[in-house]
Structures are given as C-alpha cells and as structure tokens.
Amino acid sequence: MSVTAPHPPLARRIKQRTRRQLSMLASRARLRPLDRRPVPHAPGELRLFAMARNEALRLPWFLDWYTRQGVDRIFLIDNGSTDATVDIARAHPHVHVYRTSESFTHYSNWMEVMLARYGRGHWCVAADLDEIFWYPGVEDTGLATLCAWLDRQGHTAVPAVLLDMYSDRAIRDNAYRPGQDPREVCAWFDPLFECAVKQWPNPDTFERFPFMRYSGNLRRRLFGADVNLSKVPLFRFGPGVFPARGMHAMDGVNVSSLRGVVLHYKYLQDFGTRVVEEAARGQHEGGARDYRRYAARVTEDDALNCHHEGSVRLESSEQLVQLGLMSDPASWASWRAGARA
C-alpha cells in the first residue's frame, strides 16, 4: 500500500512527468524487433521478460529451465551482444528478440515498454539471464500451478531474495558449459541476510510505497558492497502496477505470503572478464560503482574464491524453507499436493 507523502510543487511534478514520458518515448523508439514472429492474443499465457548482453554461456539453460517450468513466451531485449546470444535466442521457437543500442542506464524503461506492450493481463516472470526463480515445491510443481493458486488467493506478486550461488573453488576455475544445470558447478550459498522495509518512490503517483529490502550476504562479505537483494520475479501485470528499477520492488500489487528465491549464477568462469568490462563501460547503477568494487577485487586476487566456513550447499526447496529463505504457506502446500494427486 502506498503511503502519503508531501507531493512536489505542481510545476516540478509536471516537469518530472514530462521528462519521464520523453525518456520512455525515446526508449520505445529504439527498441527494434529482430524477428517477424507474430505475438498472438493469448489470454492465460505465462510470459517472461529478460534483458541480455553477451549471455551465450547462460542462455541455453535459462531458456530450457523456464520453458520446462511452464513459461509460454519469452521476450528478450538484447543490448548490443557481440557473442551468439541473439542467434541462440532466435533459434528458440518461443522467443521474440528485440534490440536496443541505448545505454544500459535506461534498462528500466525497456522493461516498462515491453510489459506495457505484451504483459497486460498476463502473469509475468522478470529475470536476468543469470537468474533462476525457485519457490516451495519447485522440483515437481510448475509455474502454471503456482499462478492458479495465487489467483485463488487474490495475490498478484511473489517476493523473493536474490541468492548468490558459487562454487568451492576459485571463480576463474569454474568450468560451466552452455546448457548445463548451473547447480552442478555453483552449489553453495551464504544463508544469512539483513532485511528492513524501504520506502520506494512511484514516479507516476508521486507517492512512496513500502517494500522489504534484503542486503548483506556474499556481496558485503566478499566485496563490501551494499546491494539490494530483493526481487519480484513473478507478478500479474496490469494498470497501476509499477515495477521499480531492477525489479527490486513493486507498487500496485497484492504481495503473496509465499516467498521464493532467485538463484543467481553470476560467479561463473567469465565473472572477472565481465565485471572489468562493465566497470569500464560505467552504465550500471551509480556509474557502475559496485562493478568497480568487483573488478578491483578480482584484479587484486586472481584466485578469488567465494567459499568460506559459513557456506551452505543447496539441496532442495524444502531446505530453503527450513532456513527461512523461502516461506511455504499451508494453503500452497495443500494446493500443490492436490495438483499432484
């Protein structure tokens, strides 16, 4: 629920809204389709929205995982990939590829444009190419069953915590292969987080809304970075729904009591090369402040290893419920038991 806050003066609100609308129009004009596949009017389709830049290593598993979990259609926004990312995506029968040459600083515009165009009325997944959404019972229960339960409960969004996954060896020595289940290489995580409610601005209503913010974990332990590790990976999109930058919070939704995790496979063997490049490009939040931290750390220690004495090996979704990282309401447990019967 949004909370009332003093609005800026009318002239400032008009200026802010005009600037935002012009920015969105510019982003929309630069988003070009790379295929001619028609997008059908298909009420009930589960649709996924993602952005990519040079993700050929992770993309095959990403596509396989989400289609097996029940995603019907995928919209991929490519931001200047120079590897095989676009070719892999275009070869998949359920993927529509768009490209933009805009700076990544405008990434939230791209997501809003695509959601407004193709997400209205649909259950939507939003994920980066290194993110795999897990929820209680994920091993044997697809996303369609979860969405049906959410509809029954009147919930329109599932919150999650971003769980950095890593191996027990030096990051550079990870030998992940395209299409491989990343859990086979990066099976470990830090189980502890800090959490607090944060007030987020909604630029459409000029009001603030509360959402849980998770932080700490491996990012602070290894890099000294204070990164927002909250995510909203699954939601029903429609009028009045506002996704914050990075899908870290969402206004205009009824948040479920079920909580999931997003398994984050950032620390594969290409991590060092990628963070050095992104630090130099400077297009992430705060002029790539956090990427500069990551780049400095891997440059300083070429054999950097994320594993430590507090690391926990991933076993199952039930394990994550027991650790308090996911929540499994009794009504959801009963629903999925009935779906399996």
Residue pair 129/62 in contact (Cβ under 8 Å)? The answer is: yes
The pLDDT value recorded for residue 17 is 85
Q: What is the dihedral of CA 97, 98, 101, 107, to 10 degrees?
A: -100
CA distance 59 to 68: 14
* Strand 194-202 relative to strand 207-215, pairing: antiparallel
The pLDDT value recorded for residue 7 is 64
The pLDDT value recorded for residue 95 is 97
Tokens of 309: 């004495």
213: β partners? 196
CA distance 197 to 168: 33
Tell me the three state secondary structure of residue 191. coil
Burial degree of 214 (CB within 10 A; 0-12, 13-18, 19+): buried
CA distance 16 to 21: 9
- Closest Cα to residue 231, out of 215, 217, 216, 220? 215
Q: What global pTM score does this model have?
A: 0.94
Query: What secondary structure does DSSP assign to 23-82, as a single string?
Result: HHHHHHHH-EES--------TT--EEEEEESS-TTTHHHHHHHHHHTT--EEEEEESS--
Residue pair 269/176 in contact (Cβ under 8 Å)? The answer is: yes
The pLDDT value recorded for residue 285 is 79
Show Cβ contacts of residue 333 under 8 Å, excluding neighbours closer than 6 positions.
Answer: 136, 137
The pLDDT value recorded for residue 155 is 98
Show Cβ contacts of residue 320 under 8 Å, excluding neighbours closer than 6 positions.
Answer: 134, 136, 163, 261, 314, 326
Query: What secondary structure does DSSP assign to 243-312, as a single string?
Result: EPGGGS-EESS-B-S-BEEEEE---STTHHHHHHHHHHH--SHHHHHHHHHHHHHHHH-TT-B---TT-E
CA distance 3 to 134: 30
CA distance 125 to 192: 25
Write out the chain's pLDDT in tens, 341 residues. Answer: 445 555 667 777 778 888 888 999 999 999 999 988 899 999 999 999 999 999 999 999 999 999 999 999 999 999 999 999 999 999 999 999 999 999 888 899 999 999 999 999 999 999 999 999 999 999 999 999 999 999 999 999 999 999 999 999 999 999 999 999 999 999 999 999 999 999 999 998 999 999 999 999 999 999 999 999 999 999 999 999 999 989 999 999 999 999 999 999 999 999 999 999 989 888 887 788 889 999 999 999 999 999 999 999 999 999 999 999 999 999 999 999 888 76
Burial degree of 140 (CB within 10 A; 0-12, 13-18, 19+): exposed
Domain extents in the chain: 10-340
77: β partners? 51, 98
**Measured CA angle at 339 (ends 119, 71), to 5 deg:** 25
